[in-house]
A = this chain, B = another copy of it.
Amino acid sequence: MLKNVSADVTDTGRNESLGLLRSNLTDVRSTTSQASGVRSSCSTCHLRSVCLPRGLEQEHIAQVDHLTRAKRKVRRGAALFRRGDLFESLYAIRSGSFKSTQYGKVTGLHLPAELLGLDAISSQIHDYDAIALEDSEVCIVPYAPLTLLMLQLPDLQTHILEALSSDITRDGGLLLRLGAMSAEQRVVGFLMGLSARYQFLGYAGTRFSVRMRRDDIASYLGITEETTCRILSRLERDGLIETRIKDVEIKDLNRLRNLLGY
């Protein structure tokens, strides 16, 4: 249960992972637009292999670079965009993470390299709030120019189509099947989904940081904060995971998988 036992074996390790995943922005001037001080380019970004420039030839990356030159910083708790805002740009998450909320309910969790705003392409109006879960930074991708560039760069078209496609089965389809799952399955599915996504980004899949608070997680999963807590406690008591507020460590992947029933 960890509680205030400060000599826990995995403690340092877990803090390490925390450092790894936490946005390393210390420059916290208010949400600025335009190129940030540090000259950043897709070709040097550590996310390039999973983000927009994925699969592009070196020379073509420059064109994407030009497109995404504008950055924007968003402070923890601030909105990147709000429901009702006109859709003009997609946003590629550079660092940090976001939740999307509709009618007071959390409907999505977005990690680095993911594109925010894809669902507004059809309606031209954002239909949810995108709120930063920590100090974050995004690359602004103006949509109209992007579609023009897509016509020139088949590989870019491919990437965008794939990004849209995988957004359909967001979280590996977890949320879609969520309605039919028990509260325990929801929590476990949530943790496994996060694990897989962090792994995809190149981080350890067994130890990661959940940026959302308990009530956000609960809202996201369609259960209550109390139930979420109880289940996390139970999973920990049974030795399947260890938690320390926002940090989670997967201890028994197999038994977790079994709980999901696949």
Q: Is the pair B164, A222 in contact by a Cβ cutoff of 8 Å?
A: no
Q: How large is the interface on A (under 10, 10 to 19, 20 to 34, 35 or more residues)?
A: 35 or more
**In the complex the two chains form, what is the Cα distance from A167 to B118 in whole Å?**
10
**In the complex the two chains form, what is the Cα distance from A158 to B146 in whole Å?**
12
**In the complex the two chains form, what is the Cα distance from A102 to B176 in whole Å?**
10
B contact residues around A179 at 8 Å (CB) = 175, 178-179, 186, 221-223
B contact residues around A165 at 8 Å (CB) = 118-123, 164
Majority secondary structure of chain A interface residues (helix, strand, loop or mixed): helix
**A23 on the B face (CB < 8 A):** no
CB-contacts of A113-131 with B (<8 A): 118-123, 127
Question: Other CB < 8 Å A-B pairs besides A121-B162, A122-B161, A151-B157, 8 of them?
Answer: A105-B177, A119-B165, A120-B165, A121-B161, A147-B161, A161-B161, A164-B164, A178-B179
Q: Is the pair B151, A154 in contact by a Cβ cutoff of 8 Å?
A: yes
**In the complex the two chains form, what is the Cα distance from A170 to B151 in whole Å?**
27
